[in-house]
Amino acid sequence: MQRLTPTLRHYDWGTTDDIPRLLGFGPDGTPYAEAWWGAHDSAPSWVPDEHGHMPLDELIAKHPVDMLGADAVARWGARLPYLLKVLAINKPLSIQVHPTLEQAREGFAREQRGTGGAPHSFLDPFHKPEMVVAITPMRVLAGVRDLQETAEDLRALGTARADVLAGALARADDAEAFLADVLTRGADHDTYAALARVGGASAPGTSLRAAADALAHFPDDPGAIVALALNLVELEPGEAVFTGAGILHSYQSGLGVEIMANSDNVVRAGLTPKHINVPLLLSLANAVPAMAARPTEWRDGPVRRLETVEDEFALTVVNEGKAIVGEDPRIVLCVTGTATIAAAGEVKNLTAGQALFVRASEGDAEISAEGIAAVAHTACRRAEM
């Protein structure tokens, strides 16, 4: 078992204190948006070695079967298939989608052949389905909501532009034309002003209020109108939402643990100062209305196992109790309190914010939590509860 040092990301949507508090250092006024525990080649975690520290992806490349297990290597190569993060959100993330595996491979290959110096949208040839579990209450926008409900909210704005958008939605089966219109033409000053006024006066927990809050951070941004058309999900601590390929989404606020396939492919089209690619997002987005997806959950006392349709990742959450997670490449993160991990005759202790990598070759790992521990692993092994 090896201790992991995470890589930190300082995006401007991050909070200044949540991740420093979790990791045990003082805030310095810098926004800390994400802490990454994993082996993505752009931002791997670090493990101690005889020379100081080594990136986890390099260690895995040197000892793939020992680290990952023969089954994982046969399926995903010498590459950890998942990535574990903590997100600390102070203001909305971008309106975004992730590609399918085929789209990522084709897009990455195309961009590697040359884009004339243009920013790349595909940073690797992998897909990025993801699941987030709330540590504190979280607000998430995920998937296209009921079209008639969005049309009613647009009509409440009382502007000519909003009425045109509402009328088109009321006659449609999906939001494809609406998204293309909003993201290419935007809205006018009157519509943005009405959204700020009407949405700002709406009750918390409504789509109008969520869209107005996003607009307050990104004035005159078409992404705020898109936000009005997405499902608003208010997660309580411990609740989770799953976002698959093509699902429009935007995390709005809160602190959460996120696990995903090991990729950094994000295509954006609003609510961000980062590179956007509206045509690409429109080509990838699933515009059919549907409720936000939830993971499948198995629960036994203090242990919960969260799975999705993806095999690359699953999460076992241990809350004031014990679990055994079998042979697999595992990352154990102590979220609150303390945790003890026993594997292959070795015992190690963690405090909040500390994490361990447990090699597949070390066999079963017993996790005992006095607090909350999150165990990242593939969906190919079951936890004994």
From CA 30, how far away is CA 197, in angstroms rounded? 31
**Domain ends where: 226, 254, 279?**
226
Instruction: Answer yes or no: do 22 and 10 share one domain.
Output: yes
In this prediction, what percent of the chain has a pLDDT beyond 90? Answer: 92
From CA 249, how far away is CA 279, in angstroms rounded? 17
From CA 312, how far away is CA 46, in angstroms rounded? 21
With bands split at pLDDT 50, 70 and 90, how would you rate the model's confidence at 116? low
Decide which of 176 and 383 is more confident: 176
Q: What is the CATH number of the domain that holds 98?
A: 2.60.120.10
| Inter-residue contact 350 to 371 (CB < 8 Å) | no
Residue 383 confidence (pLDDT)? 47
The two three-digit tokens of residue 287, written as one number: 């515009």
| Inter-residue contact 19 to 32 (CB < 8 Å) | yes
Instruction: Answer yes or no: do 168 and 233 share one domain.
Output: no
SS3 assignment, position 252: strand
With bands split at pLDDT 50, 70 and 90, how would you rate the model's confidence at 120? confident
**Domain ends where: 272, 295, 318?**
295
Instruction: Answer yes or no: do 167 and 204 share one domain.
Output: yes
pLDDT at 379 over 80: yes
Phi and psi torsions of 84, nearest 5°: -110, 135
Per-residue pLDDT tens over the stretch 207-229: 999 999 999 999 999 999 999 99
With bands split at pLDDT 50, 70 and 90, how would you rate the model's confidence at 119? confident
**Domain ends where: 267, 295, 323?**
295
Instruction: Answer yes or no: do 57 and 128 share one domain.
Output: yes
| Inter-residue contact 283 to 176 (CB < 8 Å) | no
Instruction: Answer yes or no: do 15 and 138 share one domain.
Output: yes
Residue 113 confidence (pLDDT)? 85
Residue 254 confidence (pLDDT)? 98
Instruction: Answer yes or no: do 266 and 367 share one domain.
Output: no
Instruction: Answer yes or no: do 140 and 117 share one domain.
Output: yes
Instruction: Answer yes or no: do 15 and 139 share one domain.
Output: yes
SS3 assignment, position 250: strand
SS3 assignment, position 142: strand
Instruction: Answer yes or no: do 316 and 348 share one domain.
Output: yes
Q: Domain residues for 201?
A: 147-226
Closest CA to 177 of 155, 150, 138, 216: 150
Instruction: Answer yes or no: do 236 and 266 share one domain.
Output: yes
| Inter-residue contact 97 to 263 (CB < 8 Å) | no
